[in-house]
Structure 1
Amino acid sequence: MEILVLMSVLTGSLALTAFARRYNLSAPLLVVVVALGVALIPGVPRLELEPELVLTVVLPPLLYSTSLESSVTHFKRNLRPIVALGVVLVAVTAVVVALVVHLLLPDVPFASALVLGAVVAPPDAVTAVAIGRKLGLPRRVMSVLTGESLVNDAAALTLYKVALAAVAGTAGSAGHGFAVFGVATVLGIAVGLAIGALVVGIRRLLDDPLLESAFGIIVPFGAYVTAEHLHPFGEEFSGSGVLAVVAAGLYLGHRSLYASPATRMQDRSVWASIDVLLEALVFALMGLQLPFVLDDAAHAARDNGTLALVALAVLAVTMLVRIPAVALFAYLPKTLRLFGQVRRAPGWQTIAVISWTGMRGVVTLAAAAGVPADTPGREEIQLFAFAVAIGTVLIQGLTLPPLIRVLKVQDPSETSRDEAEELAAREVAQKAAHARLREISRDRLAELDLPPEKVQRLKERLERLVDTRYRFAKAAITLSGEDRSGSPQAQFAKARRELLITQRKAMIEENRAGRLDDEILGKMLRELDLEELSVSTTLTNRLS
């Protein structure tokens, strides 16, 4: 029965995601809202959130996919704000939330309150990054938000383990906690890099795009489980599975520059599909947890009014503590000099947007669900965690787009810089191609048993291929949006695409008439599909 319920949830969440993408809506917000409504319908089967399933099966591929697409250069360039937001702010948020909860509910031990703080500390950047990409946030802001999402889960989950140990009475001193965090960091990164290097070696031996992608799919799970199950200094010490996944993803994403084109294309398609699938499921599961949270809250020895007020206080503190912290990290001179290079502090508009990107996600709910049953205040922890997760997604998720539009957080010179860099790179590539063509003409074409005029025509044809590609790309870069659709290059691209469509239809008709075998049709269609994809991605989308 649970399989049927899970498939229903997955199908429904994908349908809502498709609807949101079709009408330019926020898919996470829509899925969460609908899931909350469905959860309140009497008789609806309940799908309980399994923490181990989420942390082992759902979280690693999401982190890995984001890491693959992240730039190592951008990550290193923005290391200071990433560490400040992903580690320092997580710890600050956890402690502040713990203090507030312990103050409002003195009978809840501080260790239990710290568990709650660790649970609600890490933001989930899925919604923020999706909104920012759609509204054109500057690349540096996007890099910071993405980098933060890659490291904050590791910091929060490590702090979560330390807090649970304190609740159980097995935690040592503060130094012991730092040691646990240090071992988790070093060991996690080492495991991730080792697995990444191993996969690169295996892929080099395989030279098979299909098998290379298959190996890539198991990387995040292997990295996470390996790091979490390594205990070099006892059961209390282990590697961070999250950091292992991130390190492996960053390493393999950087090494993908040297992979075969077929492998890169296949990896992009595979992980894009996995992302959509898991993100839809994650936000649906968030909304569907409402009945479980309400049931657990009913067993808490407190009146509903007190629980509601404290939940609102925890939500407010979780959102508001980020605002002064982000400003402090941006403007403190000592902080700006951390890790060497002094950078110009971002404008207040950028700081305001980053301060409001604190939406929590399924990691918060999974960690709350995984709190042991004998933990004092467990029911309150789960209720408050749910309030923070849903509240931040709805409040900040709904108000972030208008905030970005009002503050106009864009870099007006970024587009021109990108165009200049791309044009310069294409010029370099064109010159390199012509230089190589001269070598080929001297070493290979001259040796062909052909008349000189045919050899010359062959050389000229190769030259035209190089020059035509450069002219089309240059037109796509330099022409304005109004001019692109009417340019000769755009019209040529559209005509070429129409010819490919016509050829595809003719082949299909031949197959239907019984004059073309299915396997031969498949082979020919794959060739046309690749050619049309090339036209669509390199010319049509940019020129129209």
Structure 2
Amino acid sequence: MALFELVIVLLLGAAVLTTFSQRIGLPFPVLLAVCGAALALLPGETISARLDPDLALVLFVAPALLDTAYDTSLRDLKTNWRPIGSLVIAAVGVTVVAVALVSHALVPDLPWAAAIALGAIVAPPDAVAASAVLRQLSPPYRILVILEGESLLNDATALLIYRVALYALTGHFSAWTTLPLFVLGSLGGLVLGYALARLFPLLTRRLAEGPVSIVMQFVGTFAVWVLADALGLSPILTVVAYAITLARNASAHGGAETRVSSFAVWDVAVYVLNALAFILMGLQLKEIGRTADGRLGSYLGFSLAILLTVILVRLGWTMIYAAGVRYRLRRAGGDRSHMPSFGGTVVLGWCGMRGIVTLATALALPEGSASGLAHRDLMISAAFAVVLGTLVIQGLTLGPLIRWLRLTDDGMVAREEVFARQESARAALDTLRHDSRPEAMILRKEYNFRLREDTPPEDTLKPHVFGRLRLKAIRAEREALHKLRRSQKIGDVAFQTVQEELDWAEGHAVHRRRAFTAEAPPGDPGDIPGRPTS
């Protein structure tokens, strides 16, 4: 009970801190990290808050992965696959090796497998804090795309290395058997994730919308992870494939109200999980501090060395990669529009803030010397130091750095949003063009206003007809919007922005229709085929 009461109080504190962070323009993960560190330093009795290692991964990583993957644009990933791939594979790999070398040099009795596991824990940056800062400053869209694509895929790379290292620690690792199994598990996870995403809408479309549908989304996310893990497949890649496929197909199904509510609930859930991760980490650090027996100085020195290594390796790698790309383009005479700028390279190198994935994998480290992790407390301390240090040092300086480098928005998303609105408005006008009712005339006036055309005069309206015609027009807009994304004329960011506008418009129209249903004459031709009446 004491733990529950403490968590409630700390969640309230996290909410207050987040509100404060929004007012002063700081990313909320920075203050959450500071709160977790303060919790570890508070006097008083230590409360045990250890999670089962497998539970820590599925509880924290699965929803965070799905939330990130759901918003990922495949078109943008394909366009920027080279820089994203360099960060996902090369930067993660170099970071793991560098951290392993430094940690083993500082603690010679630390097993190499444990050192590699620590490198995998601290290797993947989290885009939440970086995006919170970058979206306030409107940098070039390509920087956001690279960071968000990296934060999705580098989790998979780092967690695969982490699992291989744990296999080696427990003595079950053999390169000839384990590595092929991991390759098969990765490919099988991608196939399973795709198949489950195609199956999920078929299994849940007859369920009631609203809370039941949202609960099923969470159940499906955890079930996908657990099933993949039980089959010996990669749960990380399975969830990533599941989320990306679901986002490409599920948005065409289900009601607008459920979708708007779902986005709000997922935002809250991921925020609470972030806060809980920092709280649990703070409680574990408090327990570590109580049992350290004079080793706090060595823990602090080790943690600072790992933090410095992580920051310098990422910054160095981005500089080396950018220099190589510029050299190759100059020699080959290729398209220089994709040549990385100095300012963009510095910002990408400085956006190395770590977050919930690092915390979750650290919390998931098995306990006991039998697991080969006699230095578990040291590794957890280093992981939290990396999260806290990168969030505070880089998170607080990223905004001034961008302003100093004078990086500005290139307007790409804004142009695509205007294009999407115009094309969807034309589709709605085509649907309403031959309808002579006054309600249709008013709707045409609204859509003509988007296209800056002449508008007909208003007339006496029948609210139920107006609502039904609006729903019919919105459906035409939505179909046009999906065609634009399928043809890759617009990206997912523009698609999701305009889709959200249509969702709110549809929700408003549905409420108006419900309010005036009693006035509708039977068999009114304005009904939308295939959509159930309220």
Q: Residue 325 of structure 1 aligns to which amino acid in structure 2? A: W
Structure 1 position 468, deviation (Å): 3.8
Structure 1 position 197, deviation (Å): 0.7
Match of 1:383 in 2: 381
CA distance in 2, matches of 1:459, 1:130: 42
CA distance in 1, matches of 2:327, 2:252: 36
Q: Residue 132 of structure 2 aligns to which amino acid in structure 1? A: A
Match of 1:397 in 2: 395
Matched, 1:275 2:276: no
CA distance in 1, matches of 2:140, 2:45: 43
Structure 1 position 221, deviation (Å): 0.8
Q: Describe how 1:525-544 pairs up with structure 2 within 5 A.
A: none
Match of 1:312 in 2: 304
Match of 2:91 in 1: 89
CA distance in 2, matches of 1:335, 1:93: 24
Distance 1:40 1:458, change over 3 A: closer
Structure 1 position 469, deviation (Å): 5.2
The structure whose Rg is larger is 1
Q: Describe how 1:449-528 pairs up with structure 2 within 5 A.
A: 455=437, 457=438, 460-468=441-449, 470-471=451-452
Structure 1 position 419, deviation (Å): 4.2
Contact 2:228 2:235 in 1 (8 A): yes
Matched, 1:426 2:407: no
CA distance in 2, matches of 1:308, 1:208: 51
Contact 1:426 1:470 in 2 (8 A): no
The C-alpha deviation readout for 1:403-428, integer Å capped at 9, x for no partner, is 222122223xx22x444433343333
CA distance in 1, matches of 2:43, 2:509: 51
CA distance in 2, matches of 1:320, 1:382: 21
Match of 1:437 among 432, 436, 440: 432
Contact 1:323 1:355 in 2 (8 A): yes
The C-alpha deviation readout for 1:488-528, integer Å capped at 9, x for no partner, is xxxxxxxxxxxxxxxxxxxxxxxxxxxxxxxxxxxxxx969
CA distance in 1, matches of 2:4, 2:220: 25
Structure 1 position 209, deviation (Å): 4.9
Match of 2:31 in 1: 30
Structure 1 position 327, deviation (Å): 2.4
Match of 2:318 in 1: 326
Contact 1:331 1:345 in 2 (8 A): no
CA distance in 2, matches of 1:228, 1:176: 18
2:58 match: secondary structure: helix
Structure 1 position 332, deviation (Å): 2.8
Q: Residue 302 of structure 2 aligns to which amino acid in structure 1? A: V
Q: How many residues align?
A: 447
CA distance in 2, matches of 1:91, 1:177: 19
Distance 1:139 1:112, change over 3 A: same
Match of 2:289 in 1: 294
CA distance in 1, matches of 2:321, 2:144: 17
Contact 1:5 1:45 in 2 (8 A): no
Contact 1:119 1:367 in 2 (8 A): yes
Contact 1:32 1:286 in 2 (8 A): no
Q: Residue 118 of structure 2 aligns to which amino acid in structure 1? A: L
Structure 1 position 352, deviation (Å): 0.8
Q: Residue 422 of structure 1 aligns to which amino acid in structure 2? A: E
Contact 1:319 1:358 in 2 (8 A): yes
Q: Residue 448 of structure 2 aligns to which amino acid in structure 1? A: D
1:332 match: secondary structure: helix
Match of 2:131 among 124, 129, 132: 129
Q: Residue 398 of structure 1 aligns to which amino acid in structure 2? A: L
CA distance in 1, matches of 2:419, 2:384: 50
CA distance in 2, matches of 1:183, 1:39: 42
Distance 1:336 1:298, change over 3 A: farther
2:130 match: secondary structure: helix
Contact 2:56 2:361 in 1 (8 A): no
The C-alpha deviation readout for 1:84-141, integer Å capped at 9, x for no partner, is 2123322221111111222233232322222221222222222112111122122221
Q: Residue 343 of structure 2 aligns to which amino acid in structure 1? A: Q
Taking structure 1 as the reference length, the TM-score comes to 0.74
> Structure 2 regions of 5+ residues with no counterpart?
454-506, 513-534
Q: Residue 392 of structure 2 aligns to which amino acid in structure 1? A: L
Taking structure 2 as the reference length, the TM-score comes to 0.75
Q: Describe how 1:54-453 pairs up with structure 2 within 5 A.
A: 54-173=56-175, 176=177, 178-206=179-207, 208-231=209-232, 239-259=233-253, 260-298=255-293, 304-333=296-325, 344-369=338-363, 370-374=365-369, 375=372, 376-411=374-409, 414-415=410-411, 417-438=412-433, 440-441=434-435
Q: Residue 15 of structure 1 aligns to which amino acid in structure 2? A: V
Match of 1:523 in 2: none
CA distance in 2, matches of 1:164, 1:458: 66
2:338 match: secondary structure: coil
Match of 1:492 in 2: none
Of structures 1 and 2, the one with the larger relative CO (CA 8 A, separation 6+) is 2
Q: Residue 432 of structure 1 aligns to which amino acid in structure 2? A: A
The C-alpha deviation readout for 1:425-451, integer Å capped at 9, x for no partner, is 33333333333223x43xxx6xxxxxx
Q: Residue 123 of structure 1 aligns to which amino acid in structure 2? A: P
Distance 1:121 1:180, change over 3 A: farther
Distance 1:335 1:225, change over 3 A: farther
1:258 match: secondary structure: coil
Identity fraction in percent: 35
Structure 1 position 306, deviation (Å): 4.1
> Structure 1 regions of 5+ residues with no counterpart?
232-238, 446-454, 473-525, 532-544
Q: Residue 330 of structure 1 aligns to which amino acid in structure 2? A: A
Distance 1:245 1:350, change over 3 A: same
Contact 1:329 1:335 in 2 (8 A): no
Distance 1:311 1:58, change over 3 A: closer
Contact 1:326 1:351 in 2 (8 A): yes
CA distance in 1, matches of 2:199, 2:7: 35
Distance 1:331 1:49, change over 3 A: farther
CA distance in 1, matches of 2:171, 2:440: 78
